Structure 1
């Protein structure tokens, strides 16, 4: 059966500094919260030999369905920081609070808690920090809690010296459990196996993908793969299917693996750009989001490959409205049918677009001359898709379905790009052609 796929931009935000990492909060009470980190290299002032500095900014946003006439993303907070290379939320609350981990250019792993502010909103408060090493950049982090397991909260972090560190968290403080030299050059990425959190994976600029068993100690890896031909910069364990791992590299390939046999990948898919980040869908076991640096953002359907066909994973959707390096991307757990937590109920419009008169406005253009549009009224207010096309029935926006055999999916995503310092929030709808035809009749 043929499938129909559609992406649509909802909002664009200028982060001012180069944006490279973004993630929605996975904690149930805060699914409407989005964090974005930036990285800016500042040339040294004065003498030519002056060392450059790396600065950054941490943004906190709230996605609110306040009313159908307003863009949904609201900035809650911005903090000037050291340059941020990666950020990830702990998947479960810690002492009742959502916790954000940040990998900084100072070589620190920083933890922030999401707290209610005195004004009634939410903000990030520094909880603790840990220096993984002097004269190095912390490059990535991952939490052991990917399957929503809170019994043993740990963090793995990789750095520019090629080292990997594993830390435990107790009473808000990080304690080093082990650190070792894992790669000859930068260790771009590190990640837990969410099914056995004593297993850790790492990838480096030495083109190697390695596995480590923390029970045996880090004296030697459990495997070393040279299947990628360039630096390995993304790894993500599938939280829904045991043993399944996705890796990406500067060689533009996405490889799917069965962790029980790391000699040969299950499939290999070429995406035409260095694969900087990979994110499995939070509820759909076969969907994989890829940030492909020089070739935009893509969603892959990995079902045939995971069923043993060995086939290339087809791209079912692409988001091409960024003008620069595609670095950060993430899925939201929010249902687009229900109001976001804490949001007032949406107010139905008093008149349709046909009655009020709307103006088409180009939101954002890409170098390929593709463009996205939105509608605005006479006062310049935003008119969402749901009102823009009048229909005889007022069906709700489809909710995100977890069942892969469901007739449709509607997903909320965020992505960010580097040199044009842009954050985009967008939606993706995926439906069988047959279901779409029935809905149009």
Structure 2
């Protein structure tokens, strides 16, 4: 069966500082809550030792359904912090509240709870913090709760000294359980196996992917893979398929693995840019979101690879409107019931739809919260707002068959880019199309 794939930008927000991580809240009824973290390096001006300082800001947004004339993202809160390297929501409530974890440039893991305000809104409140090491940056974190298991809430954190730390969260306080030297240089990423949370994966700037069994201690890894040729910076365990792990690297490859055999990956997919973050879809076991640094954001369909067919995973969608390093990306669990319109309209003048053969380039002369800037097609021709660009030859989409219980997909996503300090909210619609195959992106 043929499928039509379409991405559509909903809103752009200027984060002022360089944006590098976004996370939608996975808990109901707060699927409409989005957190965004920023990282800004200040060049040691005015400091005696000339050491650069790293500052950041934590944003909290609420997404409101389409239909009103106002932008869908509403800023609820901003908190000035140390520079933020990673954000992750705990997948289960802690003492009845959503908890957001933050990896900070101060070497701290900081936790916030999402609370109701007296005015009827929502805000983040500090819960607990713990320094994983002095004179180092906390680089990533992951919760053990990826399969919505709340029996033992733990956090794994990696840092710039190459160490991995495992911490527990009990009665609102973080407690360090163990820490070990895992990599020769920066440990860019660490992650739990969601199916056996005694297993931890780590990746570092030494180009190594490693596995660890917490039951036997960290004296030696369960495996060391050098399959990636450059630093390993992204790892995500599939919460729907046991043993399946996705990894990404500066070598611009996404590798899928069966954790029972780490000698050879199930598949290798070239992405055209360093793969900084990977996120499995919250409900579909075959969809994988990739933030590809110099080459935008892409959605891979991994069913054939996971079923043993091998080969690269085909791309079913791309979001190409960022102008800088693609760092942060995440899926929302919020339901989008009404399909997106397939053509530009007067009611939505800032929507530009184009087939995959003619990518748009947006030039942000002065970043604002809208697309009120110049638009060009690949030939450099200006495209007025609200007018669809000339049709190009359609690119055949792969003949894939999503799960039988989900023949069409409508997803809300968020992504952010670094030097242009931009946060984008966008949607992806993937629907049956008996007439032919077509991919549209904007």
Q: TM-score range by the shorter chain?
A: 0.7 to 0.9
Equivalent-residue separation in structure 1 for 2:430 and 2:129 (angstroms): 41
Aligned counterpart, 1:163: 163
Equivalent-residue separation in structure 2 for 1:3 and 1:102 (angstroms): 38
Structure 1 residues 186 and 64: alpha-carbon distance in aligned structure 2, compared to 1, 3 A threshold: same
The aligned length equals 397
Structure 1 residues 108 and 363: alpha-carbon distance in aligned structure 2, compared to 1, 3 A threshold: farther
TM-score, normalised with respect to structure 2: 0.85
Equivalences for 1:29-68 in 2 at 5 Å? Answer: 29-46=29-46, 50-65=50-65, 67-68=67-68
- Residue 28 of structure 1 aligns to a residue whose secondary structure is coil
Question: Are 1:411 and 2:411 counterparts?
Answer: yes
Equivalent-residue separation in structure 2 for 1:332 and 1:55 (angstroms): 27
Structure 1 residues 52 and 192: alpha-carbon distance in aligned structure 2, compared to 1, 3 A threshold: same
Aligned counterpart, 2:207: 207
Name structure 1 gaps, 5 residues minimum: 339-352, 377-384, 389-401
Aligned counterpart, 2:349: 360
Aligned counterpart, 2:366: none
CA contact under 8 A between 1:359 and 1:375: conserved in structure 2?
A: no
Equivalent-residue separation in structure 1 for 2:106 and 2:353 (angstroms): 35
Structure 1 residues 154 and 78: alpha-carbon distance in aligned structure 2, compared to 1, 3 A threshold: same
Equivalent-residue separation in structure 1 for 2:186 and 2:348 (angstroms): 50
C-alpha displacement at 1:436, in angstroms? 8.1
Structure 1 residues 63 and 219: alpha-carbon distance in aligned structure 2, compared to 1, 3 A threshold: same
Aligned counterpart, 1:296: 296
Deviations 1:123-163 (A, max 9, x none): 00000100000000000000000000000000000000000
C-alpha displacement at 1:406, in angstroms? 3.1
C-alpha displacement at 1:434, in angstroms? 1.2
Aligned counterpart, 1:380: none
Name structure 2 gaps, 5 residues minimum: 339-343, 364-369, 373-385, 389-401, 438-442
Equivalences for 1:28-177 in 2 at 5 Å? Answer: 28-46=28-46, 50-65=50-65, 67-177=67-177
CA contact under 8 A between 2:323 and 2:362: conserved in structure 1?
A: no
Aligned counterpart, 1:319: 319
Equivalent-residue separation in structure 1 for 2:115 and 2:46 (angstroms): 41
C-alpha displacement at 1:69, in angstroms? 2.0
C-alpha displacement at 1:358, in angstroms? 4.9
Deviations 1:89-117 (A, max 9, x none): 00000000000000000000000000001
- Residue 139 of structure 2 aligns to a residue whose secondary structure is strand
TM-score, normalised with respect to structure 1: 0.86
Equivalent-residue separation in structure 1 for 2:59 and 2:430 (angstroms): 30
Equivalent-residue separation in structure 2 for 1:296 and 1:66 (angstroms): 25
Question: Are 1:27 and 2:16 counterparts?
Answer: no
- Residue 309 of structure 2 aligns to a residue whose secondary structure is coil
CA contact under 8 A between 2:58 and 2:78: conserved in structure 1?
A: yes
Aligned counterpart, 2:244: 244
- Residue 29 of structure 1 aligns to a residue whose secondary structure is coil
- Residue 165 of structure 1 aligns to a residue whose secondary structure is strand
C-alpha displacement at 1:370, in angstroms? 3.7
Name the structure where helix makes up a greater proportion of residues: 1
CA contact under 8 A between 1:145 and 1:153: conserved in structure 2?
A: yes
